Amino acid sequence: MQAIDPKVQECMVALRRDLHQHPELSWEETRTAAKVCQFLDRLHIPYRSGIAGTGIVATIPGRHEGPFIALRADMDALPIAEETGLPFSSEVEGVMHACGHDGHISMLLGAAMHLSRQQPPLLPVRLIFQPAEETVGGAKAMIREGVLEDVALIFGGHLDRHYPAGKVIISDGPVNASSDKFRIEISGQGAHAARPHESVDAVVVGSLLVMAIQTIVSREVNPAHPSVVSVGHFDAGTAANVIAGHALLEGSIRAQDPQVRDHLHNAIRRIAHSVGQLHDAEIKVEITKGTPPLINSPEMAALARRAAVSAVGADNVGQLASANMGGEDFSYYLNHVPGCYVRIGGRIPGHEGFPAHSSRFDFDESALSVGAAYYVAIAAVAGEWAYNNK
C-alpha cells in the first residue's frame, strides 16, 4: 500500500485547520488561493494563479513529455454559520467549510508534496485548484481558461461521511445527478375572496401544478433510474380576503440519466401548459440547466480501482451504497476528457447524523492521508495507461 509520510499528514492537518478557520465563498477564495500558492512555492512547484479569478493550476514534471494527468480540488465554502464547536471553527461570520473542500485542497497538496519528493511520475501531473464548485460556475470557467489543454485524463474525489475513514468508494456509471432549476410564473385574475367566480385563482392553479408535478417521477420515469422533482418555493397572495392573481413556483430537477433529465424538463413544460389551459391562466416556464450527471466510465473506474487498491488495499475499496442525487460540477470536466470521480470515507463515529452542508459537518482528518495516497497512486496508474495509449 502507498504510505504517506507522517510529516506530510501533519502538514495537511495544519493546512486544513487554517483553511477551515478562514473560509471563503465562491469566487472570493483570495486568501485560500494565496495559501495554496505559498504551499506550492515551498515545494518549488511551478504554477499559474488568477485563473478564472482565484483558480490555480500547478505542474509536476514527468519523466516523459506528453499529455497531462490532471487532479482537481475545489476551494470554496458555504454561507452557513458553523456550530461544530471545533477549536479551529470558522472565524468568518456566516461562512463555513461545510462540504470538506478544505480537506480536498489539503489532500491534493499532500499528494503534491509526495510527488515532488519522489521519482518524477511517468507523465506530467497537472494540479487544478478550482473556485466556485458550490455555485456551479467554477469548472466551466476553468475549462474556458484552458486548464484541460493537453490533458489526457482527469481525476477527483469528495470526502463522504457515509463511509468510514480509510475507505475509497468507486463506482462505474452514475455517481452524481444533474442539478437543474425550474421557475413557473402563473398569471391569473385576482378578485375579492367573496367573489371567486370573478377570478382565475393563482393559488388553486399553483396547487394543482405542485401535485401534478409530483406524478412525473412516480408515473413517468422508470424506477430503476433515480430522479427527483421538488418544489421548494411557492409564493402567492397578499391578504386573507383577496384571491391571488399571481403565483410563483420554483424547484429543483435531478436525474442520473441524460434522457431522463430531458424527459423531466419536457414533462414539467407539458403539465404547466395543460394546467394553464384547464384554468385559463397564463403560465411561463423557465428551466435553467445546472451540472450534467456525473458518470464514470467502466474503463476509467477500473483505473481508479487499481490505484485505490494500491493506496489502501483491496479490503478498503468499495462501491456506492445508493444513488447520490447531489450535483457535482466535476461532471463538466468529464464531458471533455475521460476520468473518474471517487468518494473518500471520512465519517467520524457518533457524527453520522451531520451531513455535508450542515452547520455541524466535520470529517475524520485521517482521511487526508487516504486521499493523498489515492492521488499519488492514480497519477502513476493513469500515467502508465495514457503513456501506453498515446
| Helices assigned H by DSSP within 22-57 | 30-43
Q: Which residues have a Cβ under 8 Å from the Cβ of 87 and sit 6 or more positions away?
A: none
Alpha carbon dihedral 304, 310, 311, 315, in 10-degree steps, equals 90
Q: Which of 24, 29, 74, 76 is catalytic?
A: 76
Q: Which of 29, 74, 102, 133 is catalytic?
A: 133
Nearest to 251 by CA among 278, 231, 274: 231
Nearest to 36 by CA among 60, 13, 58, 52: 58
Judge contact between 105 and 23, C-beta under 8 A.
Answer: no
* Cα within 13 Å of Cα(16), Cβ side: 29
**3 state DSSP class of 139:** helix
Alpha carbon dihedral 59, 157, 83, 326, in 10-degree steps, equals 130
- Whole-angstrom CA distances from 298 to 170, 301, 341, 387 are 10, 5, 12, 19
* d(C-alpha 101, C-alpha 32), whole Å: 11
* d(C-alpha 155, C-alpha 153), whole Å: 7
Judge contact between 69 and 340, C-beta under 8 A.
Answer: no
**3 state DSSP class of 198:** helix
Cβ-based burial of 231 (10 A; exposed 0-12, middle 13-18, buried ≥19): middle
Question: Which helix H or strand E contains 58, and what residues bound it?
Answer: strand 55-60
Cell of 189: 385574475
Does 83 participate in catalysis according to the annotation? no
Question: Which helix H or strand E contains 259, and what residues bound it?
Answer: helix 258-279
Question: Which helix H or strand E contains 333, and what residues bound it?
Answer: helix 330-334
Does 172 participate in catalysis according to the annotation? no
The residues carrying an active-site annotation are: 76, 133
